[in-house]
Amino acid sequence: FSYSVSHDLRAPLRTIDGFSLALEEDYAATIDDAGKDYVARVRGGVQRMGQLIDALLQLSRITRAEIMRENFSMSDLAQAIASDLKEPNLQRDLVFDIEPDLPVNADPRLMRVALENLLGNAVKFTSKVPHARVAFGWDPEANAWYVRDNGAGFDMIYADKLFSAFNRLHGDKDFKGSGIG
């Protein structure tokens, strides 16, 4: 799967990208504005497809990884990820409320991937909210971890689509992403 994705899908993309770049650079003077717009759309589509391929490869690697459990603090992991997410969002009023002292026995690498995606999505989907709040913790009643935010939300009728690859509940115009995270 990984070989097929990385080689068989990337080769035609490189060809499309190369020829569209040549059009853009070598024929810029002879292409009208509509033609330039078409070339820009082709190049944007190629870049989005490349990102999807990268996301698929990452998903493939994660699903094949052996689980290596150890004891660690989910609170510390969430704090580290939150700190990384704050850095590119310094201009935003973005607050993380992370429950302290949450021990866990799990694979820290896989938990990092999951939390990076969940907290990253919370940051992304609160981008249109003036005072963004993201919370992480443990719900003893539900016996589950939670990530909550005051962002865009979604209609619960589509909840079953949340963790399926390529299913997006918001359009790419509103929130960027591959639908894989």
Q: How far apart are CA 92 and CA 90, in angstroms?
A: 5
**The pLDDT value given to residue 170:** 46
The 3-state secondary structure of 21-56, one letter per residue: HHHHHHCCCCCCHHHHHHHHHHHHHHHHHHHHHHHH
What sections of 65-170 are H helices per DSSP? Answer: 74-86, 108-125
The pTM score is: 0.63
Checking DSSP bridges between strand 70-73 and strand 103-106, what pairing results, if any?
antiparallel
Instruction: Name the pLDDT band for 64 (thresholds 50, 70, 90).
Output: confident
Q: Tell me: the pLDDT tens digits for 82-91?
A: 999 999 998 9
At 62, give phi and psi (nearest 5°). Answer: -65, -45
Please report which confidence band the pLDDT of residue 48 belongs to, taking 50, 70 and 90 as the band edges: confident
Positive/negative CA dihedral, 86, 78, 173, 153: negative
More confident residue, 83 or 58: 83
pLDDT number for residue 139:
97
Rounded to 5 degrees, what are φ and ψ at 43? -65, -40
pLDDT in the model for residue 175: 43
Which amino acid makes up residue 30? Answer: T
Q: Is the separation of the CB atoms in 121 and 181 below 8 Å?
A: yes
